[in-house]
Amino acid sequence: MDTHPAPSDPAGRTGDGAGDGRPPLVVGCHLSVAKGFPAAADMAARVEANALQFFPRNPRGGAQRQVDEAERDRWFRRREEVGLRYVIAHIPYTVNLASPKTEAYEFARRVLREDLERCRWVGADAAVTHPGSYVEGDPADGIRRIVAAIEPVLPLLEEPGAPWLLLETMSGQGSEVGGRLEELRAILEGLGWPARVGVCLDTCHLFAAGYDWRDPAAVERLVEDVDRAVGWERVQALHVNDSKFPCGARRDRHEKMGQGAIGRAGFANLLRHAKLRALPMLLETPIDGELDYATEIRWLRDLDRALAAET
């Protein structure tokens, strides 16, 4: 397979993540900014998160809430005070960059630009999006539409303070694009390997697509496959979710940490791998309320400490 240009790695990932003295996990969760970004930072502190993911607008795709300079200034101060090391936006699930339907496609293109501009305004490190669903016909047509939707925002990603745009790995259910790493590679190739377009891995999605976290050899194969397909430097974030369904089921249903099919053994293998452990981790597990994330974050950190004690 031919080589691909490597982008810079502004996440500043260092250390091999193995043995005593390794850096602490960068781990957080998806929190609401409906009451303001400073309130989201307060909640991150309450659940002991040092990373945060948010929707730039209603997840069903409604209008963005206005964020004035005063709120932004308070947010920047609070982010620093509570020690948030990574902030990422999730573009709404209703956005379909591969849609063959004109109205849905134009909506997706508009939201993509607006949400990337919002990310820059609030200093987010990245924005992650599902690549999209081609709905019918040839998957290659969907990939071409994704490329055409992203191309107009590439100049925005080159501006000072711009976020990364991350394509999420998917479970491969139905007509969604991204269940195969080769599909993400095809998008990046079509875009000409831009410096700030990368990938967000998702543990549940990859498990559903056939990568078994419970098998150390499969975890190593995943890392090698990602490196060959897109270049590891483009992997900037990791969604950490257990799975309600077995490996290879191609069904996307998240479960609480350690309570699904991936289980303790699978996440232990993830944390034992230096490259995976170094990624910012964002939880999207099912919860009744945001304070429940404290238990999920604690579970992951306790597992990491237990593994360190074994070495």
Measured in residues, the chain has a length of 311
Tell me: is residue 202 an annotated ligand-binding position. yes
Euclidean distance between CA atoms 84 and 163, whole angstroms: 16
- Amino acid (one-letter) located at 92: P
Tell me: is residue 4 an annotated ligand-binding position. no
The CA-based angle 99-105-110, given to 5 degrees, is 145
Tell me: is residue 81 an annotated ligand-binding position. no
Q: Are strands 132-133 and 176-177 parallel, antiparallel or unpaired?
A: antiparallel
Do residues 255 and 285 touch, judged by C-beta distance below 8 A?
Answer: yes
Tell me: is residue 30 an annotated ligand-binding position. no
Do residues 15 and 308 touch, judged by C-beta distance below 8 A?
Answer: no
Do residues 30 and 56 touch, judged by C-beta distance below 8 A?
Answer: no
The pair of structure tokens assigned to 230 is: 């897109």
Other residues' Cβ atoms within 10 Å of the Cβ of residue 248: 14
Distances (CA, A) of 308 to 69, 217, 288, 298, 303: 43, 20, 31, 15, 9
Tell me: is residue 252 an annotated ligand-binding position. yes
Tell me: is residue 239 an annotated ligand-binding position. yes
Annotated binding site for Zn(2+): 90, 130, 168, 202, 205, 239, 252, 254, 284
Pick out the residues of the known binding site: 90, 130, 168, 202, 205, 239, 252, 254, 284
